[in-house]
A and B are shown apart, each in its own frame.
Chain A
Amino acid sequence: NAGVTQTPKFRVLKTGQSMTLLCAQDMNHEYMYWYRQDPGMGLRLIHYSVGEGTTAKGEVPDGYNVSRLKKQNFLLGLESAAPSQTSVYFCASSYPPQSTGGGQPQHFGDGTRLSIL
């Protein structure tokens, strides 16, 4: 039972390079999320998706793009990497809120550690 899988686990980039982080989930979740984690800042939402083909901006979306072409995958792209994007990136997934309004917990991957020189 894999849950949420992030690829790659580590990466070093030079300023200006581009790359794509891949997130895959096997729980048939509708919702998927990308966060970044920086020391002393907690997790901040970059983008999220409430279904295949839909994406929305989170708290810190600048410099990132996302795509959700398949329900099980959520891609995070950096078109022109900057040192300020050095961080640990987490993907998460969840069911949609319950019809009664109940909050659904999010399930997290193990993260991608990205360094930009």
Chain B
Amino acid sequence: AQSVTQLGSHVSVSEGALVLLRCNYSSSVPPYLFWYVQYPNQGLQLLLKYTSAATLVKGINGFEAEFKKSETSFHLTKPSAHMSDAAEYFCAVSESSGYSTLTFGKGTMLLVSP
């Protein structure tokens, strides 16, 4: 069975500061990992995905994530936060077998202050 743990339901940063959102996963087979972003009253948008190619994945809006198998982690980072980054972020895992359904973490709300 697959599962995802996102550390911290809320993360607060100042504009221009480093953003680090943590995600750890559990999977019995090689996983595929995704980060999604949700703005208020909207659906989820794909930020980036890891599908067993490069371990450092670059996404949209300056975000990137690094797959570390030894730590079963897929943390999301951005060097410099912008006010427009304020949103809820979800990490999700899909296994490489079966129908590849997604299992989501509970989400981390990113708050950006001026």
Residues of A within 8 A of B (CB): 4, 31, 33, 40-45, 48, 50, 56, 58, 90, 92, 96-97, 101-111
Specify which chain A residues have a CB less than 8 angstroms from the CB of B106 in the assembled complex.
40-42
A102 to B50, CA, bound (A): 9
A103 and B43 form a contact (CB under 8 A): no
Which single residue of chain B is at the shortest CB-CB distance from A40?
Answer: B106
Specify which chain B residues have a CB less than 8 angstroms from the CB of A33 in the assembled complex.
101-102
Does B67 sit within 8 A of A, measured CB to CB?
Answer: no
A105 and B34 form a contact (CB under 8 A): yes
Interface size class of B (residues with CB under 8 A): 20 to 34
Does B14 sit within 8 A of A, measured CB to CB?
Answer: no
Contacting A at CB under 8 A, from B21-37, are 30, 32-34, 36
A103 and B90 form a contact (CB under 8 A): no
Specify which chain B residues have a CB less than 8 angstroms from the CB of A43 in the assembled complex.
44, 90, 104
Does B73 sit within 8 A of A, measured CB to CB?
Answer: no
A110 and B43 form a contact (CB under 8 A): yes
A42 and B90 form a contact (CB under 8 A): yes
State whether A108 and B102 are in contact (beta carbons under 8 Å apart), knowing that A103-B32, A103-B49 are contacts in the complex: no
Contacting A at CB under 8 A, from B69-104, are 90, 94, 96-97, 99-104
B54 to chain A, nearest CB (A): 13
A48 and B94 form a contact (CB under 8 A): no
A102 and B51 form a contact (CB under 8 A): yes
